[in-house]
Amino acid sequence: MTNDPRPSADIAVIGGSGFYSFLDDATEVEVQTPFGPPSDPITIGELHGRRVAFVPRHGRDHRFPPHRIPYRANLWALRALGVRQVLAPSAVGSLVPEHGPGTLCVPDQLVDRTSGRAQTFYDEGAAVHVPFADPYCPDGRHAAVTAASAAGWPPVDGGSLVVIEGPRFSTRAESRWFAAQGWTLVGMTGHPEAVLARELALCYTPLCLVTDLDAGIETGEGVTMQEVLRVFADNVDRLRTVVADVIKALPADRACPCPAALDDIEPPFALP
């Protein structure tokens, strides 16, 4: 972006509590997009010599439930600021008993079970079909698995994240059905983030912290918000450390397939 006085960044983190103050020399930037404002002003600063942007997915006061997050505005604003690689830490439930609370997972597949969310930038003007067989950046996933392993928190490498509409948790029957399909994780925010990133030719890498066994996997009262928040708080420091290590390890030049997502495709409008 030429002649743009705003600070820029190459890498972004879309996250929640625990990530608000992990950048050095941070500056807040307000960005307007064709899809409204992002969840909150975007913070840009330095980390390991890299220019990094951070956007709180739910807003700083957690005012946006999963189905109301302004996903399109968040991703558009990040690209407008120069971002090309996105890390997406989140809390998830596990659909397999061996991946209990405190497990870190880097899935390689995604299943959409949401409804009613705006999940494309290209809903008028032209039909734009991006490849999405492999929804996550392979280089980003490799950096995440390598960095977490080196930090002494070996992650589960691979698996399928099923994203539900929320904001309620799953019934036991739903949970058992998800598990029966071979899906391993369940969350509420990984879609449409990943596909919107692909539509902007961005790299997108999830880092999923298991906070609970889902309702169909464990007996008892089922998943509670208190349990999710407690486990996340217990692990957020080392999650933040791993995210910082991944930022350091991400390649400066993108050789993955993600930048080519829009090759031979003519979007109906100019991208930022």
pLDDT digits (tens, 9 = 90+) for 7-17: 899 999 999 76
pLDDT, mean of residues 6-28 = 83
At 104-160, the pLDDT tens digits run 999 999 999 999 999 999 998 888 999 999 999 999 999 999 999 999 999 999 999
Does the residue 258 lie in any domain? Answer: no
- Please report the pLDDT score of residue 3 as a whole number: 55
Does the residue 6 lie in any domain? Answer: no
Cβ–Cβ under 8 Å, residues 87 and 11: yes
- Please report the pLDDT score of residue 17 as a whole number: 64
104-106 and 203-213 as β-strands: parallel, antiparallel, unpaired?
Answer: antiparallel
Domains of the chain: total: 1
What pLDDT band is residue 4 in, cutting at 50, 70 and 90?
Answer: low
Amino acid identity of 122?
Y
Dihedral angle over CA of 142, 143, 144, 148, nearest 10: 110
50-56 and 11-15 as β-strands: parallel, antiparallel, unpaired?
Answer: parallel
- Please report the pLDDT score of residue 56 as a whole number: 94
Does the residue 209 lie in any domain? Answer: yes
Does the residue 271 lie in any domain? Answer: no
At 173-210, the pLDDT tens digits run 999 999 999 999 999 999 999 999 999 999 999 999 99
What CATH number should be reported for the domain holding residue 208?
A: 3.40.50.1580
Model's pTM, two decimal places?
0.94
Does the residue 227 lie in any domain? Answer: yes
Does the residue 223 lie in any domain? Answer: yes
At 207-239, the pLDDT tens digits run 999 999 998 887 666 778 788 888 888 888 999
Residue 61: pLDDT above 50?
yes
Does the residue 269 lie in any domain? Answer: no
pLDDT, mean of residues 248-265 = 95
Tokens of 171: 């019934």
Does the residue 262 lie in any domain? Answer: no
Known catalytic residues? 212, 214
At 238-252, the pLDDT tens digits run 999 999 999 999 999
Quote the domain boundaries for residue 50: 11-253
